[in-house]
Amino acid sequence: MSSEQDIFEIVAKQAKTDAATLTRATKLADLDLQSIDVVELVFAIEEKFDIEVPYSPSEQNTAGISFQSVGEIIDAIDRLVAEQHPA
Amino acid sequence: MNRVVITGLGIISPLGNSATDVAAALRAGRVAIGALTILPTENLLTKIGAEVKDFDPVTQFSDKQLPLLDRCAQFAVAASRQAVTQSGLDLHALGSRAAAIIGAGVGGMTTLDESYYRVYAQGSKRAHPFTIPKLMISAAMSHITITHGITGPSFTVASACASSNHAIGVAYSMVKSGTVDAAVTGGTEAVFTFGTIKAWEALRVMSTDTCRPFSKNRSGMVLGEGAAIFVLENRDHALARGAEILAEIVGFGMSSDAADIVLPSADGAAAAIRACLDDAGLKPEEVDYINAHGTGTVANDATETKAIRAVFGTHADKLAVSSTKSMHGHLLGGAGAMELAATVIAMQGGFIPPTANYAVPDPDCDLDVVPNEARDQQIGVALSNSFAFGGHNAVLAIRRA
């Protein structure tokens, strides 16, 4: 099961916008999210899915995860959930 | 050296959330100490405090700002807006010629308490990412610089219950010396968390009924919360733009006991009062009123009386001395600012605020403490005392504008 709808809602809440306006192609940079907002977004995702997300503003520490677009977040979270909570 | 005046005053406090409301409360001798309502008290011995009421942060801050503001920062920023608005000063235009120097005792206790509860008691795997930027003791000051565009010197001063007097004193010194033309200064504290009250209880200095400074039957201190923020300005700068001057700061004195981490020293307190009079070039006889540290503990009030007698000699019996903590509680890192605010308001209003809850004379506290009722009296010169745990003493002197 994809995390897509949950991620749309979490991102929309953080960006104070309507989830319906978001697509997988939406860039975080276009949502006026500051660095601390992205950190809070990652926190909200970790809380929602009970996972650890190896996110860091330093690219060396993000274990290959990109947080540029909403689609990239969804793919990363699906992968992390599968790894950390194998069915 | 420049003369330094106060051109703005903002208050969020148990006695009201504006200088006007606080003035009415001080004149009426209204006691804002009551049952704590902002946290459950069934497992506390101390069930009283002086809370800020009718303060809704949601109406004060945007949903973007609010998640980053601990309660102590909310108070400070809201009070700073009042002060800056009253001053009419364009701080963005002053830029690096303005400073922000704020006193605080511990900073974001609400944030720290909630975070520790979360990770220790609830076993949460992670703390909220805003925990550090909210709890740091300097955060309230940081948000003041951001709110008003202050790009000059900015820092937070911590000396326990003397924090705000030290902050205001440093801001005064910076304007006096010409380092800056204006400073936003004062102090803030938001102390009402379960963990903090438990810790205060353990020290056995807390009253469980009310705060009765200088009264023989005094039973200890009562905590309060809030912020008082001032705009200090070079007098020439203020006069040139036709600003209203609320009062002039004329002296600042400091000393350290170098003795005990909790017990006060009459010698240390007296040294700070003398240093303040010296800095102001004031004779003891010129002082009309002292807003006392007056915590309502056995130790402070007798020691402070001794210190005042040592400095003022026979004039000690002609002085009015009151503790407004009897009404607004002990704001800890915000105490000096709240009490200087009360002193400025009293000076402007031509009255001496009372020591409320006074019941039984104490031979060890035999000054004119203005019991229970405000007194109509013009104040030309006043002092405001702060004597902190650790023996850090800071005294400010103001003169009527």
Catalytic option among B148, B293, B328, B392: B293
Percent of chain B with pLDDT over 90: 100
Give the model's pLDDT for residue A2: 74
Q: What is the pLDDT of residue B341?
A: 99
The answer to whether B176 and B2 have CB atoms below 8 angstroms apart is yes
Given a cut of 80, whether residue A60 has pLDDT beyond it is no
Second-level CATH architecture of B4-240: 3-Layer(aba) Sandwich (3.40)
Is the pLDDT at A62 greater than 80, yes or no?
Answer: no
Closest Cα of chain A to B129: distance in Å? 6
- Indicate whether A59 pLDDT > 70: no
| H or E stretch at B383 | strand B381-388
Paired with B234 in beta bridges are B4
- Mean pLDDT across chain A, nearest whole number? 89
pLDDT at res. B107: 95
* pLDDT tens, residue by residue, B175-212: 999 999 999 999 999 999 999 999 999 999 999 999 99
Q: Does domain B248-400 have CATH number 3.90.25.10?
A: no
Q: What is the pLDDT of residue B389?
A: 95
CB contact under 8 A, A40 and B130: yes
Tell me the longest C-alpha to C-alpha distance in chain A. 36
Please state which architecture CATH assigns to domain A4-84: Orthogonal Bundle (1.10)
Which residue of chain A comes nearest to B63, CA vs CA?
Answer: A16
Residues of A in contact with B67 (CB under 8 A): 40
Active site residue B328: no
- Using a CB-CB cut-off of 8 Å, the residues of chain A touching B126 are 43, 46-47
Catalytic-residue membership of B365 = no
Dihedral of the alpha carbons of B299, B302, B307, B311, in degrees to the nearest 10: 170
B67 Cβ under 8 Å from any chain A Cβ:
yes
Positive or negative, the CA dihedral B282, B286, B288, B293 is positive
Residue A61 reports pLDDT greater than 80 = no
Structure confidence by residue, pLDDT tens digits, B39-95 = 999 999 999 999 999 999 999 999 889 999 999 999 999 999 999 999 999 999 999
Residue in A43, A50, A52 closest to B129 by CB: A43
Give the pLDDT confidence score for residue A46 in this predicted structure: 95
Sort B187 into a burial class: Cβ within 10 Å, 0-12 / 13-18 / 19+.
buried
Return residue ranges of chain B for CATH 3.40.47.10.
4-240, 248-400
Q: Cβ of B64 under 8 Å from any chain A Cβ?
A: yes
Query: B379: number of CA atoms within 13 Å, CB side?
Result: 34
Q: Does A32 touch chain B (CB under 8 A)?
A: no
**What's the confidence (pLDDT) of residue B121?**
96
B63, B125, B129: residue with CB nearest A40 = B129
C-alpha closest to that of B304 among B167, B202, B161, B184: B161
How far is A4 from chain B, CA to nearest CA, in Å?
A: 23
B 122-141 → A contacts, CB under 8 A = 125-126, 128-130, 133
Contacts of B35 (CB under 8 A, 6+ apart): B41, B47, B48
The answer to whether B161 is a known catalytic residue is yes
Our separate counts of H helices and E strands in chain A read: 3, 0
Contact B133 A36 (CB under 8 A): yes
In this structure, what DSSP letter does residue B157 have? E
A46 touches chain B (CB under 8 A): yes
Mutate to test the interface with A, among B66, B119, B128, B143 (most CBs of A within 10 A): B128
Q: What residues of A are in contact with residue B125 (Cβ under 8 Å)?
A: 46, 50, 52
Mean pLDDT per 10-residue section of chain B, whose length is 401 residues = 98 98 98 97 96 97 95 98 98 98 97 96 96 98 98 98 98 98 98 95 94 97 98 98 98 97 96 98 98 97 98 98 98 98 98 98 98 98 97 98 93
Angle, CA B53 vertex, CA B166 and CA B99 arms, to 5°: 30
Task: Give this complex's ipTM.
Answer: 0.84
Identify the active-site residue in B148, B166, B330, B392. B330
Residue A34, pLDDT above cutoff 90: no
CA B325 to chain CA centroid, Å, is 10
Which chain A residue's Cα is nearest to B130?
A40
Closest-CA residue to B80 (of B64, B61, B54): B61
